[in-house]
Chains A and B, each alone.
Chain A
Amino acid sequence: MTTTESRPAGTSGAGESTTLTLIQAITLGMQGEMRRDPRVVVFGEDVGARGGVFLATAGLQQEFGEERVFDTPLSEAAIVGAAVGMAVRGLRPIAEIQFADYMGPGFDQLVSQAAKLRYRSGGQFSCPMVVRTPSGGGVKGGHHHSQSPEAYYCHTPGLKVVMPSTPYDALGLLRAAVRGADPVIYFEPKRLYRAVKGEVPTEDYIVELGRAAVRQSGTDLSLIGYGGVMPDVLKAAQALGEQGVSVEVLDLRSLVPWDREAVMASVARTGRAVLVSEAPRIGSFMTEVASSIQEDVFDSLLAPVGLVAGFDTPYPYAQDRVYLPGAGRIVNAAVQTLNYG
């Protein structure tokens, strides 16, 4: 099931709303969950007095105290591992990893403990926890502050993987993640933190994991992306629209689980798909989407599935903007797909 989202599902034009940046929505999400549920705790490196290096946790320690919002030692293994143990014992941890690039030391905790505990214990123990982490490029951060490592996690059964691109989704997905029963890694496209603004209802709502959003309806081509590339995907769709191409735009929003049904419905209608992700291409999540499309709706395809991805190089500092799939590359791939045959 898919929601069309100029206006959020379940809200009428009459509902109260505010305009927020993506990072404000995330902060508001944590604050709201902490108010709602005393079991929710927030911790990580520098999340307390400083409010996190990107200020996502700004104000939380002041409101909730040092017990519920605290700085940890500089150890991703300790942060993720402690979250596992806390979740097992009945808290609802939200752990911040300062940059997705630094998950390395905590990787084993996430994939061997968090993701496996429910399964390996036959459902006796579980880890309802959220690991939030900024990811992606476009901030001149060099390769240790710009990577898009989501595919590593998508490959791990037992984990859920989320990446919002709008304030509305950021808030709704965060609430769903915190209230859910399973471990979630919640990637935050850091270049969108303050670059996107959007309307967010003041009332409580969630965005269920595993539902794509149709950002724009169309009949000639499906452009499918998630996370940091979405503004460029929409720009490309607009440019194509100006040339008379009717483009449908899908934002996956969550990768595990992902909305296969929505993707297939769209591609079956348009017959053409271009997939966009800034992660390196080999083994990227979009290769799973491409393979699924040819498996499910091969007969509807009028052209091979296009894939615009990051290059298979470490993320470069100086060529930051060239590396990212901007609107131009997306348009080119779309034109190739449209001109096929």
Chain B
Amino acid sequence: MIHPLPTPVQYLGEDGSVRPGVTLPGTPDDWYALWHTMLLVREYDRKLVTLLRQGRTTFYAQAAGMEATQVGIGRALRPGHDWVWGYYRDQGIALTMGARLQDLAAQMLGSNSDPNRGRQMPHHYGSAQINFVSASSSIANQVPPATGTALAQKMLGTDEVTVCTFGDGATSEGDWHAGLNMAGVQQVPCVFVCENNQWAISTPLSRQTASDGIVAKAAGYGMPGVQVDGNDVLAVWAVVQEAVDRARRGGGPTLVEALTYRMGAHSNADADAEKTYRSREEVQHWQARDPLVRFERFLERQGHSISAAQRSEAVASLHRQIDEAIQEAENSGQPDWRSMFEDVYADMPVHLRRQYQQLRLEQEAGQS
């Protein structure tokens, strides 16, 4: 158990030092991989903001500041084996689990190569290849289905685990309580992780709940709750890993609250975050707790420091990969209008065939 440590669980001090009594998870190779994925999430974020500014996509919700939380969660899972019911902001989890950049980019653009076939607004990735269920926009409505998937895993006798993520705002919805309550009753192999980034658009945590942290709610549903420093990737990995392992062994669900911060705007529709609802000081406070910087300090203290040259080379290479992925997505063109009528049902019913025929005539008339 992790209990001897104070709440929230922290493995690394802000200067990158290792907290006393901690057994670090992973090897230096794992640490390097974590760093590299966090850097990818950060640079992807930068590129996507640029893509938005250029008007080449229409919606993006930044994850900058939340890399440690998302990469730590993703690292605790077996890609292609475990399942994720996440939410729109979870690109970091997807990338850690091996999501293809081309797929993420294609979904951002709603282009022809999008695994979701251009069916949703940007930034609602999903991939059956890594059991990452396509995100819904409706806040918290992934929570009861996550419980259901975990229940199915238990009933089918698999040793799979489901991870369900959400923001702090989501914990106010009825669906959230319904899903956790049933998960507790059924003792399903599900790990619920709150990516508590302190804000739900412009609503602060204090307006979201009167409880002492989200983690306090775990007791109400009969499951363990752990609060973790969400800017400490090793602590998140360890805490989620322990919850995942317990779930895999039949030990039931856990609620994890990762304390973190979104450094950017809620989304592009919220560009004035700092002017309208949060203070400069607050943002600066959290910038000083940048999870990437902290991890680089840790690596340095461990004798695996990353040189400036190495870092800029890695950044340049990531930019190239991201650019290529976006280019490839753009080159795949727009989905054909015909596909609009597919996947509503497994087979197209007659009323949709009829509407399809009508549109076909209009399209053909328009094109001639």
Q: Give residues in A with beta carbon < 8 Å to B.
A: 41, 67-68, 72-73, 75, 77-78, 80-91, 93, 105, 108-109, 112-113, 116-126, 157-158, 160, 180-182, 210, 256-258, 260-261
Contacts and interface: CB of A to CB of B under 8 A. Distances in A.
A158 B136 CA distance: 15
4 A-B pairs with the lowest CB-CB distances in the bound complex, closest first: A81-B144, A85-B148, A122-B117, A82-B148
A83 B150 CA distance: 11
Given A83-B148, A89-B152, 6 more contacts: A68-B155, A81-B141, A82-B147, A85-B149, A113-B145, A210-B350
Contacts of B134: 117, 120-122, 124-125
A89 B149 CA distance: 6
Residue of B114, B142, B152 ringed by the most chain A CB atoms within 10 A: B152
Nearest to B135: A120
B344 A73 contact: no
A161 to B, nearest CB: 12
Nearest to B347: A181
A119 B344 contact: yes
A75 B149 contact: no
Residue of A67, A78, A112 ringed by the most chain B CB atoms within 10 A: A78
A81 B186 CA distance: 14
Contact of B136 (A75, A91, A113): A113
B122 interface: no
Contact of B149 (A72, A88, A109): A88
Contacts of A85: 85, 144-152, 162
Interface string B335-346: 000000011111
A162 to B, nearest CB: 13
Contact of B349 (A112, A118, A257): A257
Interface string B151-169: 1110110000010000000
Interface of B: 83, 85, 114-120, 124, 126-128, 133-134, 136, 138, 141-153, 155-156, 162, 174-175, 178-179, 181-182, 185, 342-347, 349-351, 354
Nearest to A95: B148
Nearest to A124: B128
B119 A122 contact: yes
Contacts of A256: 349, 351
Contacts of B152: 85-86, 88-91
B182 A75 contact: yes
Given A85-B152, A86-B152, A109-B145, A116 B136 contact: yes
Nearest to B127: A124
Contacts, number: 164
B147 to A, nearest CB: 5
Nearest to A76: B178
Given A75-B182, A89-B83, A81 B175 contact: yes
7 contacts: A78-B147, A81-B143, A81-B175, A88-B152, A120-B124, A122-B116, A260-B354
Contacts of A41: 155
A186 to B, nearest CB: 16
Contacts of A72: 182, 185
Contacts of B138: 108, 112-113
A136 B361 CA distance: 41
Nearest to B137: A112
A121 B149 CA distance: 17
B310 to A, nearest CB: 37
A118 B178 contact: no
A125 B126 contact: yes
B181 A75 contact: yes
Given A122-B119, A124-B127, A158 B182 contact: no
Contacts of A182: 345-346
A77 B351 contact: no
Contacts of A77: 144, 174-175, 178-179
Contacts of B118: 122
A128 B147 CA distance: 17
A258 B237 CA distance: 51
Nearest to B85: A85
Contacts of A125: 126, 128, 133-134
A265 to B, nearest CB: 13
Nearest to B350: A257
Contact of A119 (B115, B119, B150, B156): B119
B148 to A, nearest CB: 3
B79 to A, nearest CB: 16
Contact of B344 (A82, A112, A158): A158
Given A89-B152, A112-B136, A122 B343 contact: yes
Nearest to B128: A124
A123 B346 CA distance: 8
B48 to A, nearest CB: 20
A82 to B, nearest CB: 3
